[in-house]
Amino acid sequence: MTGTPILHADLDAFYASVEQRDDRSLAGLPVIVGKGVVLACSYEAKAMGVRTATGVRQALAICPEAKVVPPRMEAYSEASARVYEIFARFSPVVEGLSIDEAFLDVQGLEGISGDPVETAEGLRAAVRKEVGLSISAGLASTKFLAKIASAQAKPDGLLAIAPDSEREFLGPLPIEAVWGVGRVTSGKLRSIGITTVGELADSDPTVLARVTGRSAAERLVALANNCDPRPVRPRDPRKSFGAQSAFPAGSLEPDEIRATLASLVDRATGRLRGARKLTRTVTVGVRFADMSRATRSRSLETPTDRTDLVLEAARELLDSAAGSEMGDLTLLGVALGNLEADRAVQMELPLDREQNDSDPEAPGSLDRALDDLRGRYGTEAVTRASLVDKRGTGATPVLPE
């Protein structure tokens, strides 16, 4: 099929599918990945009404037969790396969106992997055979439409939208299918009688602007008409490392929130060291029950990858951002930015001893030892005492894209 040069590939229920792949006793069962909060769930659990970012207890009340498993980030990262290797085989231009989805430019590959549909089918077959996971794909002339097509193809499907059927395909879809139309914007559009993508496409931007603002109105009408000129481009090198955790308001005490912060810092600095990077800027972001947000940042005197130094800064930033309102938090995140290669770091003075990786008392040696243990035996092999949750309801950190 010509005119469909952009492929959006999206692994199906990724975390839960990895768990079902690695433990065949979970196949076909509703699976919840998480501890205190649902990080991900299988299609069987979704069919029963389970949703991500809800409490595990709430999810089990909805679906008592669900199997709850702790997240295994190393397994997901390994599976993602193998899938991205397959992406690179099928297209020279891959734009990664997250650990489990990407855009691929599949134009002009007829002599290598076939036309776009043949390329997509070959890619899906390779992922299933080599990684043991199902992946859905959408083919279209734009990123916008390819992503919608892959969502419509789930689970484990392929949908190609020919140029002469784009409007026919888009028209009946609900307005929520358009990027940027969330709960608030949806309510505004529906209040003026716009409920489908087709109705949005035919809207007058000047009228629409009265409820959405001019720039948003122009963008939404353009997308509804499949006007999306963005090409597939490889992502720039990572500019930050971070982790975040979502949880119901009031579900965690302040000391549990601080323990969660420590866990997030552990994850973020571990990834930082794994990439052989140092950070100069620590940022802590929070979200409150009323959906308002607060962000605080701090620049360090010298770049570092040490967990203790980052955690010290993060604790101060959390107190500044949340203060006495910690009980109202629903999300906590940590980001490490302003990165540079670790070879550029200068030793801090005074130097009481030669600093090297073999010195068990050298700064950062504990971090490296813990990284090694977690790399060998998983993230649960070593944890902080403050994170041992006797009630089994601790929040689960979520790695962002």
Determine which of 203-212, 267-276, 356-365 has the lowest per-residue pLDDT on average: 356-365
Strands 67-69 and 31-34: parallel
Residue 2 banded pLDDT, cuts 50, 70, 90:
low
| Domain tally, the chain | 3
Residue 248 banded pLDDT, cuts 50, 70, 90:
confident
Q: What are the CA-CA distances from residue 186 to residues 145, 170, 192, 311 (Å)? A: 19, 17, 10, 39
Q: Would 287 be classed as within a structural domain?
A: yes
Model pLDDT, residue 371? 55
CATH number at residue 188: 1.10.150.20
Residue 323 banded pLDDT, cuts 50, 70, 90:
confident
Check whether 350 has a pLDDT greater than 90. Answer: no
Q: Between residues 96 and 236, which one has the greater pLDDT?
A: 96
CATH number at residue 364: 3.30.1490.100
Listed in sequence order, the residues at least 6 apart from 164 whose beta carbon sits closer than 8 Å to its beta carbon are none
**To the nearest whole number, what is the mean pLDDT of the chain?**
85
Instruction: Give per-residue pLDDT as tens, 99-127.
Output: 899 999 998 888 777 899 999 999 999 99
**Residues of the domain holding 192:** 171-224
Determine which of 18-22, 144-148, 232-236, 264-268 has the lowest per-residue pLDDT on average: 232-236
Residue 4 shares a structural domain with residue 143:
yes
- Which of 160, 180, 200 is at the close of a domain? 160
Residues taking part in catalysis: 101
Residue 31 shares a structural domain with residue 145:
yes
Model pLDDT, residue 290? 84
Instruction: Give per-residue pLDDT as tens, 305-314.
Output: 999 999 999 9
Is residue 161 within 8 A of residue 185, CB to CB? The reply is no
Model pLDDT, residue 175? 95
Residue 179 shares a structural domain with residue 109:
no
Model pLDDT, residue 292? 85
Model pLDDT, residue 369? 55
Residue 333 shares a structural domain with residue 364:
yes
Q: Between residues 248 and 352, which one has the greater pLDDT?
A: 248
Residue 138 shares a structural domain with residue 273:
no
Model pLDDT, residue 361? 46
Which among 25-34, 289-298, 375-384 has the top mean pLDDT? 25-34
Q: Shortest CA distance to 37 belongs to which of 401, 399, 394?
A: 394
Residue 320 shares a structural domain with residue 359:
yes
Residue 219 shares a structural domain with residue 249:
no
Q: Would 397 be classed as within a structural domain?
A: no
Residue 247 shares a structural domain with residue 351:
yes
Model pLDDT, residue 162? 93
Residue 284 shares a structural domain with residue 377:
yes
Helix residue ranges per DSSP H, 52-115: 56-62, 73-90
Listed in sequence order, the residues at least 6 apart from 87 whose beta carbon sits closer than 8 Å to its beta carbon are 9, 94, 102, 104, 123
Residue 367 banded pLDDT, cuts 50, 70, 90:
low
Q: Using DSSP, how many helices (H) and how many strands (E) does the chain show?
A: 14, 12
Model pLDDT, residue 398? 39
Instruction: Give per-residue pLDDT as tens, 79-89.
Output: 999 999 999 99
Q: Would 231 be classed as within a structural domain?
A: no
Check whether 391 has a pLDDT greater than 70. Answer: no
Residue 5 banded pLDDT, cuts 50, 70, 90:
very high
Rounded CA separation 117/2 (Å):
9
Residue 317 shares a structural domain with residue 375:
yes
Residue 180 shares a structural domain with residue 260:
no
